[in-house]
Chains A and B, each alone.
Chain A
């Protein structure tokens, strides 16, 4: 019995003392160091427009549907790119729902970008990402959208291609992941022209 009471006291004290250290001191120290060393990143890598309002984060994707913009991946986050409802479709490999939505996405992608009926479509263009907030599309996907965006904006495809290249983020070191075109950065750059 005495052992038990001693144990409970030790557990209660440990919970409180370690909560102060792990839940108070630790995050505060990290926040302080983060603010000193990487203030912009600690605050969410936000992008502000010319009028000073926040337009988004370079890390978080946004939905784009107009023909003059590059289109991001389909998103399962809320009603699409809802940054408070991150997540994937969680549909399995033999799901009819998933196959149907991919088929519809493929048809829309081919029609929107003037592709022939049997052209293979880049996988990222028609599948939902894990977070639903994927800021990137694959370079091959961006390349297929260049002609459309150039036409809509009256720009030379070469000029658009160059901005795509400038908005491409390559892993450092290269072999750790895949290069991706940051769609928000790309579309903002196009709007600034």
Chain B
């Protein structure tokens, strides 16, 4: 744990704090249908034209049912759209490598994955997806799913702020305004910056390079039809093969990387994602990418404070997030810097930490920080392979996702997830002092608590239910890359990532099978929509309430007491739900590693 790491961590938190207000102010304008931005002269006409094409009246607000219906319809249309493109990839343009269409289960999994902002990838991008599929079928949802999340968060904030109201905004207006005024301009600037660091951006076919030193490898001998030739002893014959070229992937990567980070999507252009030198070439590009994952989510806490007229509350929520984030980073950093005792006994230099699955340019700290950021948020991009982290280092991203990704979280999703915990915290505080719980002047009744619990239970049941099923089934075991407790961690990680809409993986798991593709897709749908609908119901119910003036016994939703209570609620709910499963996976593995037992 060196000085550079401490400097980087301090700078990261300081910059995040400094960005929160400016981004929050801008969000206030974007999420208000009549808001003004410097882009108005250019974008307003386009915005009006879009509403006309969609046949909607931007001045007409929706109640929570209409809002929820709109979210669901857009999701359904989006899944169908992407599924169709992937199934017909072979016949569509911009496929210079001549890649085949995807099988049904993979197309379904991928469509659901991108629409739900998960971006779980059961495929390797550079060898599966044509440029057209990457650019249209996938990138579209990087924008739409981010805008959807922010819309739902804004609707919930409106519900909290409004009094005696029936409507909580118009989903279509939120969708279009977030895309036009926030995502597109921010991504354009960000993408150009990424190119300046070396991220590729072109529409060229892949480049074939002549290797400086041709390498020789041993491969299984195949006949003309591609079948493996077997010798008299029944074993496959091998032959020497010389490789003298390297095929370098090209394509519009910078534009996709920018939105995958800012929109907390996380779906990489390449299989190695943000570890690939083309997606994340320098330590500077890495730092800015990490900041961009948290940027909008952090700004949304200011939006919350502004909309509710209680900025101290917004900052209290921000502080709870920041403390959870720093705690997670320190644990992951410590574990990875300490390294793997088994490998050190073999002769690996102890001071180097655990470098398996990490890039030299990022080193230990920037890898541990990225892993924490990407799972605190629902991003899921990775700059190191979480599967090869030490047991405790890998537990941090896993637990982060299981907490519901409320530490800054996905754009929008983080805030509405955290507000569910706020409602619960207020409820628990109310029970402790024996008063009717209130949140910003609104009484929290049975309906609000039920909706909050429903939102929480959806992901919990999806994670634990599917993990248990997979762990006890042949199809679940068949995909494992690692045996013993680490195998269970791989399964648990996959379903946590799916249900929390994260998308990162303990990537050793071979998940591109019909069983995994389908169960993971259901987990993603549950984690997304079984959360959004109760949250919108909560928003609708809060909006209708009249405010009661704050009295002597009102529990303040700002200040250190509230921050501690909120953190306690998040950690306690997460721990109660998931500690038993974690004890069987990463915790057991930690002790196994200390003992030096191999699997």
Contacts and interface: CB of A to CB of B under 8 A. Distances in A.
Interface residues of A, number: 111
Contacts of B355: 123-124, 127
Contact of A10 (B55, B359, B481): B55
Interface in A74-99: 77, 79-96, 98-99
Contacts of A131: 270, 272, 275-277, 359
B532 to A, nearest CB: 15
B54 A9 contact: yes
B289 to A, nearest CB: 11
A134 B382 CA distance: 15
A41 B196 contact: yes
Nearest to A119: B347
Nearest to B81: A15
Contact of A15 (B56, B77, B127, B287): B77
B200 A43 contact: yes
Interface string B77-108: 11001000000000000000000000000000
Nearest to A79: B217
B175 interface: yes
A150 interface: no
Contacts of A155: none
Nearest to B144: A18
Interface string A38-56: 1001111110010001111
Contact of A11 (B73, B127, B282, B507): B73
Contact of A54 (B208, B354, B390, B507): B208
Nearest to B66: A3
Contacts of B172: 10, 14
B389 A26 contact: no
A79 B459 CA distance: 38
A41 B200 contact: yes
Interface in B548-599: 589, 592-593, 597-599
Contact of B361 (A8, A46, A169): A169
A102 B484 CA distance: 20
Nearest to A123: B352
Contacts of B592: 94
Interface stretch (B18-26, B134-142, B432-440): B134-142
Interface string A108-137: 001000000011111110111111111111
Contacts of B389: 93
Contacts of A92: 387-388, 394, 482, 486, 489-490, 506, 508, 589
A121 B210 CA distance: 31
Contacts of B126: 83-86
Contacts of B211: 55-56, 62-63
B362 A23 contact: no
Contacts of A132: 272
A120 B347 contact: yes
Contacts of A84: 126-127, 206, 247, 249
A101 to B, nearest CB: 10
Given A98-B356, A187-B212, A91 B246 contact: no
B237 interface: no
Contacts of A127: 343, 348, 355-358
A41 B195 contact: yes
Interface string B248-285: 11101011101100000000001110011110011110
Given A120-B349, A129-B275, A180 B486 contact: no
Interface string B377-403: 000001111011111001000000000
Contact of B593 (A94, A138, A169): A94
A129 B360 contact: yes
Given A123-B339, A126-B348, A134-B360, A43 B507 contact: no
Contacts of B391: 93-94
Max chain A Cβ within 10 angstroms of own Cβ: one of B126, B135, B357, B391: B357
A164 interface: no
Interface residues of B, number: 138
Nearest to A58: B198
A90 B507 contact: yes
B180 interface: yes
A148 to B, nearest CB: 15
A59 B67 CA distance: 46
Contacts of B192: 30, 33-34, 37
* Residue from B176, B200, B204 having most chain A Cβ neighbours under 10 A: B200
A4 interface: yes
A26 B356 contact: no
B222 interface: no
Interface stretch (B161-169, B183-191, B303-311, B521-529): B183-191
Nearest to A121: B347
B225 interface: no
B201 A31 contact: yes
B368 to A, nearest CB: 12
A134 B278 CA distance: 11
Contacts of A12: 77
Contact of A91 (B140, B184, B481, B589): B481
B346 A102 contact: yes
Contacts of B187: 26
A156 interface: no
B274 to A, nearest CB: 9
Contacts of B143: 18, 22
Contacts of A169: 361
B95 to A, nearest CB: 15
A34 B201 contact: yes
B394 to A, nearest CB: 8
A180 B247 CA distance: 24
A96 B3 CA distance: 34
19 contacts: A14-B54, A14-B144, A14-B175, A15-B78, A18-B175, A26-B184, A33-B195, A41-B197, A57-B278, A83-B246, A87-B271, A87-B272, A92-B508, A103-B346, A129-B357, A131-B270, A133-B276, A171-B361, A177-B362
The 3 closest A-B pairs by CB, nearest first: A177-B283, A90-B508, A123-B352
Interface of A: 3-4, 6-19, 21-23, 26-27, 29-31, 33-35, 37-38, 41-46, 49, 53-57, 59-66, 69, 73, 77, 79-96, 98-99, 102-103, 106, 110, 118-124, 126-138, 140, 169, 171-178, 180, 184, 187-188, 191
